[in-house]
Amino acid sequence: MANILKSEKRAAVIAALCEGNSVNSTCRMTGVAKNTVLKLLVDLGRVCAAYQDEALRELPCKRVQVDEIWAFVHAKAKNVPADKRGIFGFGDVWTFTAIDAETKLVPSFLVGLRDGPTATEFCMDLASRMASRVQLTTDGHRMYLEAVEAGFGGEVDYAMLQKIYGGGPTDAEHRYSPAVCIGSEKHAIQGTPDPKHVSTSYVERQNLTMRMSMRRFTRLTNAFSKKVENLIAAVAVHYQWYNFGRVHLSLKGQTPAMAAGVALRPWTVRDIISLLENAEAAEKAAQALKSEVK
């Protein structure tokens, strides 16, 4: 049987990754081999995604903001080999996220392409988690028009926030700086959204949290994901920690999951590791039972 890391070592690895360390730096800090770190990440990501899928239901969200954040896998789009172009998991990859403005909970996330089908799948999942009607704000991307209709039907107060950008800096020193936002327009799309709460500020701040907490999302990074499965796993683990373990400064000692009523206390990294250990124990018991039956 292959060697399995002890719980303490697993916790050290995941804690390092959740604090924004790259896989290579995590290996140096913990003394764990790279392949072992990646396998732990993928295995834990799978159970974290399953846990959140089950736990984040009937949520009391009122004002939800949605956005998508860019990353790349294997290589930037311009450098993807010809035989890999057009295949998901090579080049540009987008992560859709939603955040509740009050509890700061992220109820849904999805890694995919920046297109209508992915946006629709995301909005349908998001809508299925809400306990009641919500006010929803997205950016001005047209894919959201059909996606929100498919997900929420007529049961949503929906607005788009269209930002207007001016030309960014052109000198070499600032060539990676983003374009300057010079204004915005609010457009009520459906229902009666309150203009005071038409905003994407919280979800855009969440994008920064992602870039700071996952090395593979850092701009100009050399720690990008080599496989899309690793990126998906990293996002699932990040949000397990963000929602359940990380105390939010604006929530007076609570995590987003506590504020939303789906957790009673902050989780530790060891609690997150226990999700994987419980899944491994259940799988081992099932295999033993199957052997007995034979």
* Cβ partners under 8 Å of residue 9, min gap 6: 30, 32
Averaged confidence pLDDT in the chain: 92
Q: What is the pLDDT of residue 12?
A: 97
Range 25-36 average pLDDT = 96
One-letter amino acid for residue 95 of the chain? T
Sign of CA dihedral 96, 119, 48, 71: negative
Residues forming a β-bridge with 59: 130
* Spatial distance between the Cα atoms of 275 and 162, rounded to a whole number of angstroms: 41
SS3 of 109-169: EEEECCCHHHHHHHHHHHHHCECCCCEEEEECCCHHHHHHHHHHCCCCEEEEEEEEECCCC
Q: What is the pLDDT of residue 1?
A: 40
Cα 194 from chain centroid (whole Å): 27
List the structure tokens of 200: 């994407």
Token pair for 98: 């939603």
- The full DSSP string for 200-266 is -HHHHHHHHHHHHH-GGGSTT-S--BSSHHHHHHHHHHHHHHHHHTS--GGGTS--HHHHTTS-SSP
Instruction: Please tell me the distance from the alpha carbon of residue 94 to that of residue 190, in angstroms, as a whole number.
Output: 26
Q: How far is CA 119 from the centre of its chain?
A: 14
Least confident of 39-53, 100-114, 181-195: 181-195
Tell me the average pLDDT across 81-110: 96
> How confident is the model over 233-289, as pLDDT tens digits?
999 999 999 999 999 989 999 999 999 999 999 999 999 999 999 999 998 898 888
Of 56, 93, 98, which is closest to residue 204 (Cα–Cα)?
98
Task: Report CA-CA distances (Å) from 126 to 26, 95, 136, 206.
Answer: 33, 14, 11, 17
Torsion of CA 186, 187, 190, 196, to 10 degrees: 20
Diameter of the chain measured on Cα atoms: 71
CB atoms closer than 10 angstroms to residue 121: 16
